[in-house]
Amino acid sequence: MKTTMPIPTAPAREESGRVLALALIAAGILLPLLICALAAPPLFRLLLFTLWLNGLASTLPPQPGRRLRLGALLALLLLALHQLFAPLLPGLIASAPPGSAAPALHGDAALISRHLAAGRSELLRFARQLTALLWPSTATLALALLLAGLLTALRPPLHRELLRLAPNRALTRRAWLLRELPDRFGRWIRDESLRSLLMGGLWALGTWLLGYSHPAAAGLFMALAAPTPFWGPLFAAGLSLFFALDPGHLPLQAGGAAIVFAVTWLAAHLLLTPRLALSRPPLSRGWTLLWALAGYLCAGVGGFFIAAPLIAAARHADGALHLPTPRSCEPTSPQSVQFS
Amino acid sequence: MERTNKKPEKEAGQPCRPEEIEYLHALNRLTPAGRKRLLTWLHVRTYAADEPLFRQGEPALCLFFLLSGSLALEADSRTGRPDRLKIVAPGQACGSAALAGDAFYGESCLALEPSRVAVLPQTAFHQLLAGQPAIAAALLQGLLEETLDDWRQALRTYSGLTDHLTRANIIV
């Protein structure tokens, strides 16, 4: 007879030690990337895209034939999208803002209009900097695809060799790390990418229909904010109001944006959450807000966007680095383990 | 003069040779080509006496085939002294939970004497299952046969014991 035994919860490590370990891992992930971004942006883009593609590749189906076909299809799709968007991107994100304040406005309306224009200009500058930092050249993307393909092909022999070189006492720990690291990060990267794509796309479409001045930038912010659970989409929706046309249209456009936001949120939750919920490490809304605000204080809007994903990455790394102690195992995908 | 307390060759694993896996019961159903394919994923490790291979409750990530020496499977008990479930003899496998997906070892395994084992990682089985399911199925069948043998043996011992007790009861 089959019995289902729930996995006990994670070991009760000291909370302060856990937070410190997470902070150290987060710093270990962020600092090399930051140094790379400051010192050599092309290398940073190559590294980032290789890691992203490698994460996506680890979620491809295990059957060699299907894996190869889907991998090639994904690579071609990415190259095609890159070719399509490369000439359009400067126009979409960085076009000159439309007439900032209508000359007929006076009093509070003029003040709001001036604030909106200033905020819009600031956000567009941030979007321009961001796209300049992240948007790869075709050569970089092709090289990243090649590297990710090579790494994917080399993964089984590399895995074998790394496992073989582990000393006896570290065999299970090494096997755990080699299994969990690509699995956790791969699923998380795939799911967050899908969520970002869906929410960013719907939001850009919605704001375009509502007549916002820069729907592409609004979509970009929504896509960047989607990996921050709960607060991210709200923050991005708030930022998008800066792209409303003028104070006269603001209430109407804000009302429309609320409907579009509800549709986007619902679509993401109905289509993605049931399938992808398990890849996101559990983090309470309070902690998420705290981390995101800390990120905002440290590095502005970019800090807000990056804080929660960074903590999620640190939690995934922490889960992969620490072997669950006997009889206190953290579940990966299933909620229970079956023993027959 | 021969040294009695021989140190393990090396702590890291060594590549596995074809002749080493020839007499493994669990691989009986594999064709020579299948064995060759499996061999690329296997490596050999040497464990000293009393050295644990895995502990009860750890995630099951490796399947072990005993090449030489002997292993003991033990389960924690309430008395504090572990219950010895089985002595694994050369040719037999242990840690089959590794093939059951996200499972955990239900018992601890330790070497009773210096022992050599061939290790098959769980990833290898998943790769085989996806790429060459016939080899994975043959491996599973072999392990199932071995498990059934163990089960029959355990039943025989158990029924003999209950029979003995019943007779003793009747006599008393």
pLDDT digits (tens, 9 = 90+) for B66-110: 999 999 999 988 888 889 999 999 999 999 999 987 789 999 999
Q: Is pLDDT of A207 > 50? A: yes
Higher-pLDDT residue of A111 and A219 is A219
Note whether A313 and A227 are same-domain residues: yes
Is residue A88 pLDDT above 50, yes or no? yes
Distance between CA A194 and CA A200 in Å, rounded?
A: 10
> What pLDDT does A211 receive?
86
Do A185 and A139 share a structural domain?
A: no
Q: Average pLDDT for residues A255-272, to the nearest whole number?
A: 88
Domains in chain B: ranges and CATH: 14-171 (2.60.120.10)
Which residues, 6+ apart, have CB-to-CB distance to B143 below 8 Å? Answer: B26, B93, B96, B99
Same domain, A208 and A157: no
Among B12, B53, B127, beta carbon nearest to A156:
B127
A340 occurs within a structural domain: no
**Chain B closest CA to A126's CA: distance in Å?**
44
Q: In this complex, is the C-beta atom of B25 within 8 Å of any C-beta atom belonging to chain A?
A: no
Q: Is the pLDDT of residue A12 over 70?
A: no
- Confidence (pLDDT) at A105: 62
Q: How far is CA A223 from CA A41, A198, A200, A235, A269, in A?
A: 22, 8, 4, 11, 15
pLDDT at res. A279: 82
Q: Are residues A243 and A294 in the same domain?
A: yes
pLDDT of residue A335: 38
Q: Dihedral sign, CA of A253, A305, A20, A172?
A: positive
Chain B contact set for A333 (CB, 8 A): 102
Q: Pick from A141, A165, A189: which residue ends a domain?
A: A165
Chain B residues whose beta carbon lies within 8 Å of the beta carbon of residue A159:
121, 123
Q: What is the DSSP string of A181-218?
A: HHHHHHHHHHHHHHHHHHHHHHHHHHHHHTT-S-HHHH
Residues in chain B within 8 Å Cβ distance of A337: 102-104
Give contacts of B127 with chain A, Cβ < 8 Å.
Answer: 62, 156
pLDDT digits (tens, 9 = 90+) for A275-302: 776 788 888 889 899 999 999 999 888 9
B80 CB-near residues (< 8 Å, 6+ apart): none
pLDDT digits (tens, 9 = 90+) for A112-136: 778 878 888 888 889 988 888 999 9
Asked if residue A310 belongs to a domain, the reply is yes
| pLDDT at residue A249, rounded to an integer | 74
The pLDDT, as a whole number, for residue A62 is 86
- Would you place residue A42 in the very low, low, confident or very high pLDDT band (cuts 50, 70, 90)? very high
As a whole number, mean pLDDT of residues A142-154 equals 94
- pLDDT at position A99 over 60: no
Whether A161 and A181 share a structural domain: no
- Flag if B123 and A159 touch (Cβ within 8 Å): yes
Q: Of A59, A159, A164, which to mutate for an interface test with B (greatest number of B Cβ within 10 Å)?
A: A164
pLDDT of residue A19: 81
A165 touches chain B (CB under 8 A): yes
Mutate to test the interface with B, among A5, A59, A160, A161 (most CBs of B within 10 A): A160
Distance of CA A83 to the CA centre of its chain: 22
Report yes or no: A93 and A217 within 8 Å, Cβ to Cβ: yes
What is the identity of the amino acid at B138? A
pLDDT at B3: 46
**Continuous H helices in chain A:** 15-39, 41-57, 64-85, 89-94, 107-134, 138-164, 171-209, 215-225, 231-240, 250-267, 273-276, 285-321
Q: For residues A270 and A300, state if they share a domain.
A: yes
Mean pLDDT of the A161-186 span = 93
Output the six-digit token pair for A68. Answer: 């190869």
Would the CB atoms of A176 and B55 count as touching at under 8 Å? no
Please say which residue of A142, A165, A188 terminates a domain.
A165
A240 domain residue, yes or no: yes
Which pLDDT belongs to residue A55?
A: 93
> A117 in a domain, yes or no?
no
Identify whether residues A151 and A241 lie together within a single domain: no
- Selected residue with higher pLDDT from A194 and A327: A194
Judged by a CB distance cut-off of 8 A, whether residue A8 touches chain B is no
Partners of B66 in the β-ladder = B117
Mean pLDDT lowest for which of A127-136, A227-236, A323-332? A323-332
**DSSP H/E element including B75:** strand B71-75
Instruction: Give the model's pLDDT for residue A57.
Output: 92
Q: How many domains in chain A?
A: 2
Q: Give the A:B interface size as CB pairs under 8 Å.
A: 85
Distant-in-sequence, close-in-space partners of A112: CB < 8 Å, separation ≥ 6: A247, A250
Residues A306 and A239 in one domain: yes
- Point out the residues of chain B with pLDDT beneath 70: 1-10, 169-172
Rounded to a whole number, what is the distance in Å from the CA of A8 to chain B's nearest CA? 11
Q: Are residues A206 and A152 in the same domain?
A: no
The token duo for B82 is 């572990």
Looking at the structure, tell me whether residues A194 and A142 fall in a common domain.
no
Q: Nearest Cα to A194, choosing from A271, A95, A105?
A: A271
Q: How far is B114 from chain A (nearest CA, A)?
A: 13
In this structure, are A287 and A226 located in the same domain? yes
Task: Tell me the mean pLDDT in the region A165-169.
Answer: 93
A215: containing domain = 177-326
Sorting pLDDT into bands at 50, 70 and 90, what band is A103? low
Which one is predicted more confidently, B103 or A96?
B103
Contacts of A193 (CB under 8 A, 6+ apart): A52, A56
Query: Are A194 and A228 within one domain?
Result: yes
Q: Do B12 and A160 touch (CB under 8 A)?
A: no
